[in-house]
Amino acid sequence: MTSSSSRLLHAGYSLLGNLRNNSAGFMRASHEIISNDLYTQQMRTFIQMRTSLKVVDNSGAKRVMCIQALKGKKGARLGDTIVCSVKEAQAGGKVKKGEVHYGVVVRAAMPRGRCDGSEVKFDDNAVVLINKQGEPIGTRVMGPVPHELRRKKHLKILSLAQHIV
């Protein structure tokens, strides 16, 4: 090796033209991008206590908060029944603010696997309010509803829905 190439290697340069320093800078920059994306990305989890949900029927409630998931320790998923408290309600509706009702999760942001290998997930968390007998309080269900509710025996909700996915 010549003395000029040994000086370049000693100073931190490679013979291929600063490749070593560029790769280290690239790795550091890509690591920062990945870590920033993880902070900005929303985590999709179960519907658990204190989760705010949108009400998609015409019972009079707009937003509810989950008090308890009736099945499972982790939380509720698509088609599960929850106990919820009404946080926002329309004037003159069937339900009032502060009341406690049962609800069926009809849309969840957490992915749910299907038998054919596909997954279904929605942009929001939504619920349909039901009474103690399991019948919907409202008479219409807005937006898409997954057909997994058929296995959970919520056929009345499926019959009221505008669109079944």
CATH number at residue 151: 2.40.150.20
The yes-or-no verdict on residue 19 having pLDDT over 60 is no
- Establish if 12 belongs to a structural domain: no
Does the pLDDT at position 139 exceed 90?
yes
Tell whether 105 is covered by a domain.
yes
Q: How confident is the model at residue 40 (pLDDT cuts 50, 70, 90)?
A: very low
Q: Considering the domain boundaries, does residue 59 fall inside one?
A: yes
Q: Please indicate, yes or no, if residue 16 is contained in any of the structural domains.
A: no
pLDDT for residue 82 is more than 90: yes
Residue numbers of the domain that contains 68: 47-164
Query: Beta strand 61-69 with 81-89: parallel, antiparallel or unpaired?
Result: antiparallel
98 in a domain, yes or no?
A: yes
Number of structural domains the chain divides into: 1
Q: In the structure encoding, which two tokens stand for residue 39, read together?
A: 């902070």
Q: In this predicted structure, what is the pLDDT of residue 1? A: 53
Going by C-alpha positions, the residue among 46, 24, 28, 44 that lies closest to residue 36 is 28
Say which DSSP state 12 is in: T
Which residues contact residue 107 at a Cβ distance below 8 angstroms, ignoring those fewer than 6 apart?
A: 56, 78, 122, 124, 125, 126, 143, 144, 145, 146
Q: Is residue 33 part of a domain?
A: no
- Supply the mean pLDDT for the chain: 82
Q: With 50 as the cut, is the pLDDT of residue 146 above it?
A: yes
pLDDT over 90 for what percent of the chain? 64
The whole-number average pLDDT for the span 159-164 is 92
Task: Report the percent of the chain where pLDDT is more than 70.
Answer: 74
Question: What's this model's pTM, rounded to 2 decimal places?
Answer: 0.72
Position 25 in a domain: no
Confirm whether 147 is domain-assigned. Answer: yes
